[in-house]
Structure 1
């Protein structure tokens, strides 16, 4: 009996150590989707126009870069963070296509600020004034305000002395209907307005994550309303993808830009050795003009990517080859059917000669953003994953509780 008791205690200790290791290495934050979003030709065109402005960087008179914002009413992913002590909570879009954190400030009287959470600096004991002005202009509006410094927390981690933007003015109706309050950029420092160190780089320098890596699991077809997947800090979770990650080195440590081997529609080659950007703040796949023209011709699509259709089963996969591995996207994910009219979720904008791989691509492939090695890793999302698996701590706790109870029977 004593021997059995000892073995039970040893097993329990081993399980608890394993749980501790899992909890220490990966930090998770759920991400959500707009619950009312339905992709249509209208939203595709709107998103394309906003992406055009996002990647057409300009500079204002005060020297700050103009950072264009993706359409809030489109297919965007957002999650919860807190700022200050005690915590003040905000929903933010985690955007790998930009590098600044900003939220509305309490002195903002714009309609959009009144409809969202605002930051009260007087209520935070860790707030430090900075006061540097910033202004960001968007396609249908703008935000302006000043920089501040405070503690920022998410996924169980707290970044000390993070510089962020407090917005005092928001202009443009697109802000009013946003499901989130602000943006947390996860691009490289060179993209940041006013030289601010991005939040994740501060996490790394402050030793908060085991590895300088974060990863996204985005559900583009989840069964739970408003459920969008998760952002993982400190590494990757192999249970969320199939096979091994395929890595591609970055060709530019600003945007998350990498080189493709080739891109094809079925057996029709569209491009070779084109660069592409992994952008969680973009909904669509954006192609250079020449490549988009070739794709549209295959479908007999008009200038806005629409064409008559019956069944999507007749159309081939969209195939991106990265480091010798084919990543296939079925037609039902890159073509939107509305009765007998179809729209391509592959579009083009005039300002770039590279591809932008937004959520049409990232929703099919788990993506690891390796800051330390300046590379991206891709793998197909696991078909076996259910929303309940993402509440890992709760599930593991339940399993442990059941297991421990059984140990003592």
Structure 2
């Protein structure tokens, strides 16, 4: 009983710290900038996109860094706030622009598992991608020719090619000068036809930037456009609020978007936003212990190893015959009776309810879990053991958890969304 006063004092200090942090943040986030959001309504297009996302993910996982890191603390200051476009809870975009004096508007997929800035060229759009916007270097006064070739080969063996260019890049009220990016002049057909984005903004570490190009985050920080090397993501999956996909906050966080205090964990490998997860459970069944997970907002689902997926599917009553286009269909009537899934990260439990991990597309319900491998064992294209063991936290996870990324101290902070 003698320890009770000490425990009460400790809890009081924690509460005071949380309130102080929230007060500081609530003053700073009001300086943010907000952009308009939209939502995709073509369900057939959405369901077809999952397979292509897996191919992109396999390509991204191939250059995993072997460097290790640890960190201890974090703080936030001035914030730029960019609204996200929600493509029916499967892909999230921001609006941006290239060139001067008139910024050429484009829509960019937010991707935390890559580090480059890519945009379709206007010539490619005219020839192959008529419903998209593209960048025309001849219309910009600040364009700087580079010409170095840029190439990405996907797991499907399809290739995205382009050249590097440098120009002014506008993101909300932030005007980033001398940003080098890939001007895409050839891309897989499905990437263009089955997506709404005109390019990709990678928010990963510079260690995974192709061609050694300076990342948008590094450039924003070096030019003094934000005070702290931090960005945060709040993803809105409220189907009744189609215009609001959430927000990307550059330079800090917003305590009105999450409950309690942020729980911080160190990045376990620099390159991707990769952390160690203490444990994952569904019901009373353990799915992993001390497993590695990568945050990838460019992927819709939570990607898990085959052993974990088999357990999840069994708990959800899903059979292999329920698989379609790489995802698993489930009876919508069963959703309310499905179990919770609990992630223990940094000694704190983060819970996903069935409504968090099941997509409902006008009566077609899709599980938010899948694998990069063919879990029947008939065929796998995985050349790396990492592909079979690592977890990938896609938009399903972001939809339930507010997430802060500190690329200075190499930390990830998490708290339940409000």
Q: TM-score, normalised by structure 2?
A: 0.76
Q: How does 1:124-203 map to 2 (within 5 A)?
A: 124-138=140-154, 139=156, 141-203=158-220
- Structure 2 residue aligned with 1:34: 39
Structure 1 window deviating more from structure 2 (214-223 vs 277-286): it is 214-223
Distance 1:307 1:179 in 2: 26
Alpha-carbon spacing, 1:45–1:108, altered in 2? closer, same or farther (3 Å): closer
Residue deviations 1:230-287, cap 9 Å, x none?
1100000101111111111111111111111100112222111111111111100111
Unaligned ranges ≥5, structure 2: 1-23, 63-86, 374-381
Aligned length: 350
Distance between the aligned counterparts of 1:229 and 1:340, measured in 2? 24
Q: Sort the Cα spacing of 1:54 and 1:111 in 2 relative to 1 into closer, same or farther, 3 A.
A: farther
Specify the alignment match of 2:58 in structure 1.
55
Structure 1 residue 318: Cα displacement: 1.1
Matched, 1:83 2:89: no
Deviation, structure 1 residue 227? 2.1
Structure 1 gaps, min length 5: 1-17, 60-71, 383-409
Give a deviation string over 1:49-72, Cα, whole Å, max 9, x none: 63244224599xxxxxxxxxxxx8
Q: Which moved more, 1:111-120 or 1:306-315?
A: 306-315
Residue of structure 2 in register with 1:67 after alignment: none
Name the residue aligned to 2:400.
364
Contact 1:107–1:168, Cα closer than 8 Å, also in 2: yes
Q: Tell me, yes or no, if the aligned pair for 1:260 and 1:275 is still in contact at 8 Å.
A: yes
Equivalent residue for 1:22, pick from 17, 28, 37 = 28
* Contact 1:28 1:231 (8 Å CA) reproduced: no
Task: Quote the offset at 1:109 in angstroms.
Answer: 5.7
CA 1:99 to 1:253, structure 2 compared with 1: closer, same or farther past 3 Å?
Answer: same
Task: Please identify, of 315-324 and 110-119, the stretch whose mean Cα deviation from structure 2 is larger.
Answer: 110-119
State how far apart, in whole Å, the 2-side matches of 1:20 and 1:366 are: 16
Secondary structure class of the residue paired with 1:253: coil
Classify the secondary structure of the residue corresponding to 1:221. coil
Q: TM-score, normalised by structure 1?
A: 0.77
Relative distance call for 1:219 and 1:37 in structure 2 (3 A) is farther
User: SS at 1:236's partner residue?
Assistant: coil
- Residue in 2 that maps onto 1:122: 138
Q: Taking CA–CA contacts closer than 8 Å with sequence separation of 6 or more, which of the two structures ends up with the larger relative contact order?
A: 2
Report Cα offsets for 1:282-335 as digits up to 9, x if no partner.
100111112112222323422334455743222211111111111111112223
Bigger Rg, structure 1 or 2? 1
